Structure 1
């Protein structure tokens, strides 16, 4: 079995060495789900940041209990953390890419006002190779995309854990009122139980209706792991 990558602060330190007073980091979860919101986690660190919490990894590489235990530690480790969401209805209306930007903008807007001013123009590390954020936040940060940033950059890993735990908690709460779809287990992603419930009961208010209409018959196999 290949050794699991351990994130570090190398890129963040490089940005601080270039003069950045703050570094922001973003990651999204829920992009591939059939139900529930898409969620973006945002963290802010400054040059005084210390070694990352032991065990911090990309959220997809952690078990649910480890993520749940790590989220408060990750939040305490960074200078600030925020989460933004876009709903299933918004995804149906605007499309997933626009809603990623919308959720990211909401996360940034939820920072304390004085910090939101202080980080204006700071570099922001965004996981992946596509910048879905800049158009939504204008000049408020300088987005720098990086493939596998959630695996390699400690700040992005922290954002991924915070976002994932927040979204999973919301889906568990939704399961209490609407238990038909097993959201406490699948968190809105494709699973056999989820598809069986859809066949029997039809979609709920939390389902992305356009995604259900566009779904190919083989989709359950593609998303069986339920990550993202």
Structure 2
């Protein structure tokens, strides 16, 4: 089945006095190394700017195509921000809390850019509002399953956050050679797993996830991820069942 072409139809139905809308998506959920990223792409609905041609959910695009789309998407948006949560934070607090931390940081960055995030509707990919739990004040969040495939603002956030995280992992590959991060971007490819067996882990590995995989290996065969992280949202392996009150300032 051919994926739908994203548009701004959903966004235009939302009440927004300023005419702005924020698309939000996460990247790196299924990786076994590296940070989790939450991207936000601000679009001005009052301006008839043409949506970047070929803009899609980042998981449906090749790495080369994402790189091509990034500068076009930056020009199309009026502001953007990307927040990160480290592997240590994921291990300590759990995946959902880490999502909230990364989102909080992205929202703070948008505020610094002059975006009144409290007054702008946010379209969040998925059916769970981790944004509302991450900040002490009220946000207008609209969750939507597969918003990264149908909503242009969210597709933009997906591309921007994916490109930023991939570049970060390529930089980390130079510091920690042997794991193939420039190719697998921290996902659990065969090359990456074999390197862990030979070299051990680094401070960028999500240790709770790796331990959980080891514990489950004798029970079920875990699906891997290809070198481009195509199963980014496919599995939530080893998420610690931890809830915490976080100071993310």
Question: What TM-score does the superposition give when structure 2 sets the normalisation length?
Answer: 0.85
Name the structure 1 match of 2:102.
103
Would you tell me which structure has more helix in proportion to its own residues?
A: 1
More moved, 107-116 vs 32-41: 107-116
Question: What TM-score does the superposition give when structure 1 sets the normalisation length?
Answer: 0.93
Q: What is the distance in 1 between the residues matched to 2:155 and 2:11?
A: 12
Residue 121 of structure 1 pairs with residue 123 of structure 2 = no
- The aligned length equals 224
2:155 alignment partner, one of 151, 154, 157:
157
Q: What is the distance in 1 between the residues matched to 2:58 and 2:175?
A: 26
Cα offset, 1:20, TM superposition: 5.4
Q: What is the distance in 2 between the residues matched to 1:203 and 1:171?
A: 15
Secondary structure of the residue aligned to 1:39 is: strand
Cα offset, 1:47, TM superposition: 2.4
Q: Which runs of 4+ in 1 moved over 6 A?
A: none
Name the structure 2 match of 1:213.
211
Q: What is the distance in 1 between the residues matched to 2:113 and 2:205?
A: 37
Name the structure 2 match of 1:90.
89
Cα offset, 1:202, TM superposition: 1.0
Q: Is the 8 A contact 1:189 1:223 kept in 2?
A: yes
Name the structure 1 match of 2:139.
141
Name the structure 2 match of 1:56.
55
Q: Is the 8 A contact 1:149 1:157 kept in 2?
A: yes
Cα offset, 1:132, TM superposition: 1.3
Q: Gaps spanning 5+ residues in structure 1: where?
A: none
Name the structure 1 match of 2:247.
none
Residue 186 of structure 1 pairs with residue 184 of structure 2 = yes
Q: Is the 8 A contact 2:24 2:122 kept in 1?
A: yes
Name the structure 2 match of 1:196.
194
Q: What is the distance in 1 between the residues matched to 2:138 and 2:36?
A: 21
Q: What is the distance in 2 between the residues matched to 1:203 and 1:113?
A: 36
- Superposed CA deviations along residues 53-100 of structure 1, whole A, max 9, x for unmatched, are 111000001100000110111111011001000000111111110000
Residue 39 of structure 1 pairs with residue 50 of structure 2 = no
Cα offset, 1:44, TM superposition: 1.3
